Amino acid sequence: MTPPERRATMGLAGIFGLRMLGMFIVLPVLALYAETLPGGRDHTLVGLALGAYGLTQALLQIPFGWASDRWGRKPVIVAGLVIFALGSFIAAWAPTIVWTIVGRTVQGAGAISAAVIALTADLTRDVVRSRAMAAIGMTIGATFALSLVVAPALTPLIGVPGIFVMTGVLALGAIALLEFAVPDADVRPARADTAAQWKSVLADRDLLRLNYGIFALHAALMALFVQVPFMLRDNGIAASRHWLVYLPVLAASVVLMLPALWQADRPGRGKRVFVGAVAVLFAGQALLATAGTSLPLTIAALVVFFTAFNLLEATLPSLVSKFAPPAVKGTAAGVYSSVQFLGTFVGAAAGGWLSQWHGAAAVFGFCLVLTAFWLAVSATMSATPAYNHGNYSMGET
Protein backbone atom coordinates (compact mmCIF):
# COMPACT_ATOMS: atom_id res chain seq x y z
CA MET A 1 0.00 0.00 0.00
CA THR A 2 1.01 3.60 -0.55
CA PRO A 3 1.17 5.86 2.55
CA PRO A 4 -2.23 7.47 1.75
CA GLU A 5 -3.78 3.99 1.35
CA ARG A 6 -2.35 2.85 4.68
CA ARG A 7 -3.61 6.01 6.33
CA ALA A 8 -7.09 5.59 4.87
CA THR A 9 -7.26 1.91 5.75
CA MET A 10 -6.10 2.44 9.33
CA GLY A 11 -8.45 5.37 9.86
CA LEU A 12 -11.51 3.67 8.41
CA ALA A 13 -10.77 0.42 10.24
CA GLY A 14 -10.53 2.46 13.44
CA ILE A 15 -13.90 4.14 12.79
CA PHE A 16 -15.49 0.79 11.99
CA GLY A 17 -13.97 -0.70 15.14
CA LEU A 18 -15.12 2.12 17.44
CA ARG A 19 -18.65 1.83 16.13
CA MET A 20 -18.76 -1.96 16.27
CA LEU A 21 -17.43 -1.80 19.82
CA GLY A 22 -20.67 -0.07 20.76
CA MET A 23 -22.63 -2.94 19.25
CA PHE A 24 -20.55 -5.81 20.59
CA ILE A 25 -19.46 -4.69 24.05
CA VAL A 26 -22.82 -5.29 25.71
CA LEU A 27 -23.22 -8.84 24.36
CA PRO A 28 -21.58 -10.67 27.29
CA VAL A 29 -23.28 -8.55 29.98
CA LEU A 30 -26.65 -7.34 28.70
CA ALA A 31 -28.59 -10.58 29.27
CA LEU A 32 -27.55 -10.70 32.92
CA TYR A 33 -27.98 -6.93 33.42
CA ALA A 34 -31.47 -7.13 31.94
CA GLU A 35 -32.60 -9.22 34.91
CA THR A 36 -32.29 -6.08 37.07
CA LEU A 37 -34.66 -4.08 34.83
CA PRO A 38 -38.47 -4.25 34.78
CA GLY A 39 -39.38 -6.85 32.15
CA GLY A 40 -35.83 -8.07 31.87
CA ARG A 41 -36.52 -11.67 32.93
CA ASP A 42 -38.39 -12.30 29.69
CA HIS A 43 -35.78 -13.81 27.38
CA THR A 44 -37.76 -12.75 24.33
CA LEU A 45 -37.34 -9.10 25.34
CA VAL A 46 -33.70 -9.71 26.19
CA GLY A 47 -33.17 -11.09 22.70
CA LEU A 48 -34.81 -7.98 21.24
CA ALA A 49 -32.56 -5.76 23.35
CA LEU A 50 -29.51 -7.61 22.09
CA GLY A 51 -30.54 -7.54 18.44
CA ALA A 52 -32.87 -4.56 17.95
CA TYR A 53 -30.08 -2.51 16.44
CA GLY A 54 -29.75 -5.14 13.73
CA LEU A 55 -33.25 -4.46 12.41
CA THR A 56 -32.70 -0.74 11.83
CA GLN A 57 -29.20 -1.47 10.50
CA ALA A 58 -30.70 -3.91 8.01
CA LEU A 59 -33.36 -1.45 6.90
CA LEU A 60 -31.04 1.54 6.53
CA GLN A 61 -27.76 0.16 5.15
CA ILE A 62 -28.92 0.37 1.53
CA PRO A 63 -30.34 3.93 1.92
CA PHE A 64 -27.11 5.02 3.63
CA GLY A 65 -25.03 3.38 0.90
CA TRP A 66 -27.17 5.07 -1.76
CA ALA A 67 -26.88 8.42 0.04
CA SER A 68 -23.10 8.07 0.16
CA ASP A 69 -23.07 7.53 -3.60
CA ARG A 70 -25.13 10.72 -4.03
CA TRP A 71 -23.84 13.20 -1.42
CA GLY A 72 -20.43 11.84 -0.50
CA ARG A 73 -19.16 9.28 2.00
CA LYS A 74 -17.98 11.51 4.83
CA PRO A 75 -21.20 13.51 5.45
CA VAL A 76 -23.20 10.27 5.60
CA ILE A 77 -20.71 8.66 7.99
CA VAL A 78 -20.79 11.71 10.30
CA ALA A 79 -24.61 11.68 10.41
CA GLY A 80 -24.61 7.96 11.22
CA LEU A 81 -22.14 8.36 14.07
CA VAL A 82 -24.23 11.15 15.63
CA ILE A 83 -27.36 8.98 15.47
CA PHE A 84 -25.48 6.05 16.99
CA ALA A 85 -24.26 8.22 19.87
CA LEU A 86 -27.83 9.38 20.56
CA GLY A 87 -29.02 5.78 20.77
CA SER A 88 -26.18 4.95 23.17
CA PHE A 89 -27.22 7.74 25.53
CA ILE A 90 -30.88 6.62 25.41
CA ALA A 91 -29.84 3.05 26.29
CA ALA A 92 -27.69 4.37 29.17
CA TRP A 93 -30.67 6.22 30.62
CA ALA A 94 -33.21 3.43 29.98
CA PRO A 95 -35.24 2.63 33.14
CA THR A 96 -36.83 -0.51 31.66
CA ILE A 97 -35.95 -3.23 29.18
CA VAL A 98 -38.36 -1.65 26.69
CA TRP A 99 -36.41 1.62 26.74
CA THR A 100 -33.21 -0.36 26.34
CA ILE A 101 -34.72 -1.82 23.17
CA VAL A 102 -35.55 1.73 22.01
CA GLY A 103 -31.98 2.85 22.59
CA ARG A 104 -30.55 -0.11 20.74
CA THR A 105 -32.96 0.54 17.87
CA VAL A 106 -31.75 4.14 17.56
CA GLN A 107 -28.14 2.95 17.74
CA GLY A 108 -28.80 0.81 14.71
CA ALA A 109 -30.21 3.74 12.76
CA GLY A 110 -26.64 5.01 12.39
CA ALA A 111 -26.09 2.57 9.53
CA ILE A 112 -22.65 3.56 8.23
CA SER A 113 -21.09 0.19 7.41
CA ALA A 114 -21.83 0.38 3.69
CA ALA A 115 -20.54 3.94 3.43
CA VAL A 116 -17.30 3.03 5.25
CA ILE A 117 -16.71 0.01 3.01
CA ALA A 118 -17.45 2.08 -0.09
CA LEU A 119 -15.06 4.85 1.04
CA THR A 120 -12.38 2.23 1.58
CA ALA A 121 -12.89 1.11 -2.02
CA ASP A 122 -12.68 4.74 -3.19
CA LEU A 123 -9.34 5.32 -1.44
CA THR A 124 -7.52 2.11 -2.40
CA ARG A 125 -6.38 0.62 -5.70
CA ASP A 126 -7.79 -2.68 -6.90
CA VAL A 127 -4.49 -4.47 -6.30
CA VAL A 128 -4.53 -3.73 -2.55
CA ARG A 129 -8.27 -3.40 -1.94
CA SER A 130 -8.70 -6.95 -0.68
CA ARG A 131 -6.02 -6.27 1.94
CA ALA A 132 -7.82 -3.12 3.04
CA MET A 133 -11.14 -4.99 3.30
CA ALA A 134 -9.45 -7.81 5.19
CA ALA A 135 -8.01 -5.23 7.61
CA ILE A 136 -11.52 -3.97 8.30
CA GLY A 137 -12.77 -7.52 8.77
CA MET A 138 -9.94 -8.29 11.17
CA THR A 139 -10.71 -5.08 13.07
CA ILE A 140 -14.29 -6.26 13.53
CA GLY A 141 -13.03 -9.58 14.90
CA ALA A 142 -10.53 -7.84 17.19
CA THR A 143 -13.22 -5.46 18.40
CA PHE A 144 -15.49 -8.37 19.18
CA ALA A 145 -12.68 -10.09 21.08
CA LEU A 146 -11.92 -6.92 23.04
CA SER A 147 -15.61 -6.51 23.88
CA LEU A 148 -15.91 -9.97 25.39
CA VAL A 149 -12.89 -9.36 27.62
CA VAL A 150 -13.45 -5.72 28.59
CA ALA A 151 -17.21 -5.69 29.23
CA PRO A 152 -17.27 -8.11 32.20
CA ALA A 153 -14.34 -6.24 33.75
CA LEU A 154 -15.89 -2.78 33.23
CA THR A 155 -19.36 -3.68 34.46
CA PRO A 156 -18.48 -3.74 38.19
CA LEU A 157 -16.76 -0.34 37.79
CA ILE A 158 -19.19 1.71 35.68
CA GLY A 159 -22.15 -0.59 35.13
CA VAL A 160 -23.85 -1.34 31.84
CA PRO A 161 -25.28 2.23 31.65
CA GLY A 162 -21.73 3.54 31.94
CA ILE A 163 -20.66 1.26 29.11
CA PHE A 164 -23.41 2.71 26.92
CA VAL A 165 -22.25 6.26 27.72
CA MET A 166 -18.68 5.26 26.86
CA THR A 167 -19.73 3.91 23.47
CA GLY A 168 -21.62 7.12 22.70
CA VAL A 169 -18.55 9.21 23.51
CA LEU A 170 -16.34 6.94 21.39
CA ALA A 171 -18.74 7.31 18.45
CA LEU A 172 -18.42 11.09 18.65
CA GLY A 173 -14.64 10.70 18.87
CA ALA A 174 -14.76 8.67 15.66
CA ILE A 175 -15.99 11.81 13.86
CA ALA A 176 -12.69 13.52 14.66
CA LEU A 177 -10.82 10.44 13.44
CA LEU A 178 -12.76 10.60 10.16
CA GLU A 179 -12.02 14.27 9.62
CA PHE A 180 -8.34 14.29 10.51
CA ALA A 181 -7.07 10.77 9.73
CA VAL A 182 -8.99 9.77 6.60
CA PRO A 183 -8.16 11.48 3.28
CA ASP A 184 -10.92 12.83 1.07
CA ALA A 185 -11.76 10.78 -2.00
CA ASP A 186 -10.54 12.39 -5.22
CA VAL A 187 -13.84 11.86 -6.98
CA ARG A 188 -17.35 10.91 -6.00
CA PRO A 189 -18.41 7.55 -7.44
CA ALA A 190 -20.72 8.02 -10.41
CA ARG A 191 -23.44 5.56 -11.17
CA ALA A 192 -27.04 5.46 -12.31
CA ASP A 193 -29.73 3.56 -10.53
CA THR A 194 -30.63 1.22 -13.39
CA ALA A 195 -32.47 -2.03 -12.97
CA ALA A 196 -29.56 -3.86 -14.57
CA GLN A 197 -27.12 -2.58 -11.94
CA TRP A 198 -29.40 -3.55 -9.07
CA LYS A 199 -29.84 -6.96 -10.64
CA SER A 200 -26.06 -7.37 -10.85
CA VAL A 201 -25.96 -7.06 -7.06
CA LEU A 202 -29.16 -8.82 -6.04
CA ALA A 203 -29.06 -11.72 -8.50
CA ASP A 204 -25.38 -12.61 -8.47
CA ARG A 205 -25.21 -16.18 -7.14
CA ASP A 206 -21.85 -15.83 -5.47
CA LEU A 207 -22.83 -12.59 -3.77
CA LEU A 208 -26.02 -14.29 -2.61
CA ARG A 209 -23.93 -17.09 -1.08
CA LEU A 210 -21.72 -14.57 0.72
CA ASN A 211 -24.71 -12.55 1.88
CA TYR A 212 -26.35 -15.64 3.29
CA GLY A 213 -23.05 -16.49 4.96
CA ILE A 214 -22.80 -13.21 6.86
CA PHE A 215 -26.49 -13.56 7.78
CA ALA A 216 -25.94 -17.04 9.22
CA LEU A 217 -22.68 -16.08 10.97
CA HIS A 218 -24.20 -13.19 12.89
CA ALA A 219 -27.54 -14.89 13.50
CA ALA A 220 -25.73 -17.82 15.13
CA LEU A 221 -23.49 -15.49 17.14
CA MET A 222 -26.39 -13.49 18.56
CA ALA A 223 -28.52 -16.55 19.30
CA LEU A 224 -25.63 -18.15 21.17
CA PHE A 225 -25.11 -15.04 23.27
CA VAL A 226 -28.62 -15.31 24.56
CA GLN A 227 -27.46 -18.61 26.07
CA VAL A 228 -23.68 -18.58 26.68
CA PRO A 229 -23.63 -16.11 29.62
CA PHE A 230 -26.11 -18.31 31.47
CA MET A 231 -24.05 -21.42 30.66
CA LEU A 232 -20.98 -19.83 32.24
CA ARG A 233 -22.96 -18.71 35.26
CA ASP A 234 -24.40 -22.22 35.68
CA ASN A 235 -20.82 -23.50 35.63
CA GLY A 236 -20.13 -21.42 38.73
CA ILE A 237 -18.43 -18.41 37.10
CA ALA A 238 -19.66 -15.02 38.31
CA ALA A 239 -20.56 -12.52 35.57
CA SER A 240 -17.71 -10.19 36.58
CA ARG A 241 -15.25 -13.05 35.95
CA HIS A 242 -16.50 -14.18 32.55
CA TRP A 243 -13.58 -12.33 30.99
CA LEU A 244 -11.29 -14.96 32.53
CA VAL A 245 -12.93 -17.42 30.14
CA TYR A 246 -13.23 -15.14 27.11
CA LEU A 247 -9.62 -13.87 27.19
CA PRO A 248 -7.86 -17.25 26.80
CA VAL A 249 -10.59 -18.49 24.45
CA LEU A 250 -10.14 -15.56 22.09
CA ALA A 251 -6.35 -15.55 22.35
CA ALA A 252 -6.27 -19.23 21.41
CA SER A 253 -8.74 -18.70 18.58
CA VAL A 254 -6.65 -15.92 17.03
CA VAL A 255 -3.48 -18.03 17.18
CA LEU A 256 -5.30 -20.93 15.54
CA MET A 257 -6.93 -18.71 12.94
CA LEU A 258 -3.83 -16.93 11.61
CA PRO A 259 -2.27 -19.87 9.69
CA ALA A 260 -5.57 -20.44 7.90
CA LEU A 261 -5.84 -16.72 7.10
CA TRP A 262 -2.40 -16.79 5.51
CA GLN A 263 -3.31 -19.90 3.54
CA ALA A 264 -6.46 -18.22 2.24
CA ASP A 265 -4.32 -15.79 0.20
CA ARG A 266 -2.34 -18.53 -1.54
CA PRO A 267 -3.32 -19.56 -5.08
CA GLY A 268 -5.75 -22.46 -5.24
CA ARG A 269 -6.51 -22.56 -1.51
CA GLY A 270 -8.99 -19.76 -0.87
CA LYS A 271 -12.19 -21.71 -1.39
CA ARG A 272 -10.98 -24.75 0.55
CA VAL A 273 -10.01 -22.59 3.54
CA PHE A 274 -13.34 -20.75 3.42
CA VAL A 275 -15.49 -23.89 3.24
CA GLY A 276 -13.35 -25.55 5.90
CA ALA A 277 -13.94 -22.60 8.22
CA VAL A 278 -17.71 -23.00 7.83
CA ALA A 279 -17.35 -26.68 8.72
CA VAL A 280 -15.31 -25.79 11.82
CA LEU A 281 -17.99 -23.27 12.81
CA PHE A 282 -20.59 -26.05 12.65
CA ALA A 283 -18.37 -28.33 14.75
CA GLY A 284 -17.95 -25.64 17.40
CA GLN A 285 -21.71 -25.18 17.71
CA ALA A 286 -22.25 -28.94 17.93
CA LEU A 287 -19.70 -29.17 20.75
CA LEU A 288 -21.34 -26.28 22.55
CA ALA A 289 -24.73 -27.95 22.27
CA THR A 290 -23.39 -31.06 24.02
CA ALA A 291 -21.26 -29.26 26.64
CA GLY A 292 -23.95 -29.01 29.29
CA THR A 293 -22.39 -28.20 32.67
CA SER A 294 -18.89 -29.31 31.65
CA LEU A 295 -16.74 -26.19 31.84
CA PRO A 296 -13.72 -27.72 29.99
CA LEU A 297 -15.96 -28.83 27.09
CA THR A 298 -17.68 -25.42 27.03
CA ILE A 299 -14.32 -23.67 26.78
CA ALA A 300 -13.08 -26.05 24.08
CA ALA A 301 -16.28 -25.50 22.09
CA LEU A 302 -15.91 -21.72 22.36
CA VAL A 303 -12.31 -21.94 21.10
CA VAL A 304 -13.43 -23.95 18.05
CA PHE A 305 -16.36 -21.62 17.37
CA PHE A 306 -14.36 -18.39 17.63
CA THR A 307 -11.47 -19.71 15.55
CA ALA A 308 -13.89 -20.13 12.66
CA PHE A 309 -15.82 -16.96 13.47
CA ASN A 310 -12.72 -14.75 13.44
CA LEU A 311 -11.50 -16.24 10.16
CA LEU A 312 -14.85 -15.84 8.43
CA GLU A 313 -15.38 -12.33 9.80
CA ALA A 314 -11.99 -11.31 8.41
CA THR A 315 -12.43 -12.83 4.94
CA LEU A 316 -16.07 -12.17 4.03
CA PRO A 317 -15.76 -8.38 3.38
CA SER A 318 -12.76 -9.01 1.15
CA LEU A 319 -14.65 -11.62 -0.85
CA VAL A 320 -17.63 -9.31 -1.31
CA SER A 321 -15.36 -6.53 -2.56
CA LYS A 322 -13.90 -8.95 -5.13
CA PHE A 323 -17.19 -10.37 -6.40
CA ALA A 324 -19.08 -7.03 -6.49
CA PRO A 325 -19.33 -5.30 -9.89
CA PRO A 326 -17.03 -2.24 -9.74
CA ALA A 327 -19.74 0.28 -10.72
CA VAL A 328 -22.03 -0.63 -7.81
CA LYS A 329 -19.69 -1.37 -4.93
CA GLY A 330 -21.56 1.05 -2.65
CA THR A 331 -24.86 -0.70 -3.30
CA ALA A 332 -23.28 -4.15 -2.99
CA ALA A 333 -21.72 -3.16 0.33
CA GLY A 334 -25.10 -1.85 1.46
CA VAL A 335 -26.85 -5.12 0.63
CA TYR A 336 -24.11 -7.12 2.38
CA SER A 337 -24.26 -4.96 5.50
CA SER A 338 -28.06 -5.02 5.52
CA VAL A 339 -28.11 -8.81 5.43
CA GLN A 340 -25.44 -8.96 8.14
CA PHE A 341 -27.50 -6.88 10.53
CA LEU A 342 -30.71 -8.63 9.59
CA GLY A 343 -28.96 -11.78 10.75
CA THR A 344 -28.07 -10.02 13.99
CA PHE A 345 -31.70 -9.14 14.63
CA VAL A 346 -33.15 -12.48 13.56
CA GLY A 347 -30.58 -14.44 15.57
CA ALA A 348 -31.08 -12.45 18.76
CA ALA A 349 -34.89 -12.38 18.49
CA ALA A 350 -35.18 -16.05 17.56
CA GLY A 351 -32.62 -17.07 20.17
CA GLY A 352 -34.47 -15.19 22.89
CA TRP A 353 -37.84 -16.61 21.89
CA LEU A 354 -36.52 -20.17 21.60
CA SER A 355 -34.71 -19.92 24.92
CA GLN A 356 -37.83 -18.59 26.64
CA TRP A 357 -40.27 -21.17 25.29
CA HIS A 358 -38.25 -24.20 24.20
CA GLY A 359 -34.95 -24.11 26.10
CA ALA A 360 -31.27 -24.16 25.22
CA ALA A 361 -31.48 -27.20 22.93
CA ALA A 362 -33.76 -25.32 20.55
CA VAL A 363 -31.31 -22.39 20.41
CA PHE A 364 -28.43 -24.67 19.48
CA GLY A 365 -30.57 -26.52 16.95
CA PHE A 366 -31.47 -23.24 15.27
CA CYS A 367 -27.77 -22.30 14.95
CA LEU A 368 -26.81 -25.73 13.60
CA VAL A 369 -29.49 -25.64 10.90
CA LEU A 370 -28.38 -22.18 9.75
CA THR A 371 -24.74 -23.27 9.55
CA ALA A 372 -25.44 -26.61 7.89
CA PHE A 373 -27.23 -24.82 5.07
CA TRP A 374 -24.34 -22.36 4.76
CA LEU A 375 -21.92 -25.27 4.47
CA ALA A 376 -24.00 -26.71 1.65
CA VAL A 377 -24.19 -23.48 -0.36
CA SER A 378 -20.56 -22.47 0.21
CA ALA A 379 -19.38 -25.79 -1.21
CA THR A 380 -20.83 -24.76 -4.60
CA MET A 381 -19.38 -21.24 -4.73
CA SER A 382 -17.18 -20.15 -7.66
CA ALA A 383 -13.43 -19.80 -7.51
CA THR A 384 -12.73 -16.56 -5.67
CA PRO A 385 -11.75 -13.59 -7.85
CA ALA A 386 -8.26 -12.14 -7.53
CA TYR A 387 -6.95 -8.67 -8.27
CA ASN A 388 -3.79 -8.73 -10.37
CA HIS A 389 -1.80 -5.48 -10.76
CA GLY A 390 -4.91 -3.38 -10.61
CA ASN A 391 -6.95 -5.44 -13.06
CA TYR A 392 -9.96 -7.44 -12.10
CA SER A 393 -9.33 -11.08 -12.98
CA MET A 394 -10.68 -14.43 -12.01
CA GLY A 395 -8.75 -17.06 -10.15
CA GLU A 396 -8.46 -18.80 -6.81
CA THR A 397 -6.83 -16.78 -4.06
- Per-residue pLDDT tens digits for 75-115: 999 999 999 999 999 999 999 999 999 999 999 998 888 88
What is the pLDDT, as a whole number, of residue 196?
67
Has residue 191 got a pLDDT over 70? no
Render the burial of 249-279: b for 16+ CB within 10 Å, e for the rest: bbebbbebbeebbeebbeeebbbebbbbbbb
**Percent of the chain with pLDDT strictly greater than 90:** 40
> How many contiguous H segments (helices) and E segments (strands) does the chain have?
14, 2
Q: Which CATH architecture has domain 3-182+199-393?
A: Up-down Bundle (1.20)
Confidence band, pLDDT 50/70/90 cuts, at residue 313: confident
Q: Average pLDDT of 200-220?
A: 90
Confidence band, pLDDT 50/70/90 cuts, at residue 189: very low
- Is residue 226 within 8 A of residue 348, CB to CB? The reply is yes
Has residue 392 got a pLDDT over 70? no
- Is residue 368 within 8 A of residue 288, CB to CB? The reply is no
Task: Report the chain's C-alpha Rg in angstroms.
Answer: 20
What is the pLDDT, as a whole number, of residue 284?
97
Has residue 337 got a pLDDT over 90? no
What is the pLDDT, as a whole number, of residue 326?
66
What is the pLDDT, as a whole number, of residue 362?
95
What is the pLDDT, as a whole number, of residue 252?
92
The β-bridge partners of 392 are 387
In sequence order, what are the residues at sequence separation of 6 or more whose Cβ sits closer than 8 angstroms to the Cβ of residue 250?
A: 145, 148, 149, 306
Confidence band, pLDDT 50/70/90 cuts, at residue 393: very low
CA nearest to 76, candidates 151, 223, 185: 185
Phi, psi (rounded to 5 degrees) for 212: -65, -40
CA nearest to 320, candidates 217, 222, 220: 217
Has residue 38 got a pLDDT over 90? yes
Domain residues of the chain, as ranges? 3-182+199-393
Residue 28 amino acid letter: P
Residue 122 amino acid letter: D
Has residue 356 got a pLDDT over 60? yes
Has residue 123 got a pLDDT over 60? yes
What dihedral do alpha carbons 355, 222, 269, 386 form, nearest 10°? Answer: 140
Q: Average pLDDT of 58-71?
A: 83
CA nearest to 176, candidates 43, 316, 78: 78
What is the pLDDT, as a whole number, of residue 114?
80
DSSP state at residue 209: H
DSSP state at residue 197: H
Q: pLDDT digit string (tens) for 365-383?
A: 999 999 999 999 999 887 7
What is the pLDDT, as a whole number, of residue 193?
53
What is the pLDDT, as a whole number, of residue 166?
95
**Percent of the chain with pLDDT strictly greater than 70:** 89
Residue 172 amino acid letter: L
In whole numbers, what is the pLDDT of the chain averaged over residues? Answer: 85
What is the pLDDT, as a whole number, of residue 388?
39
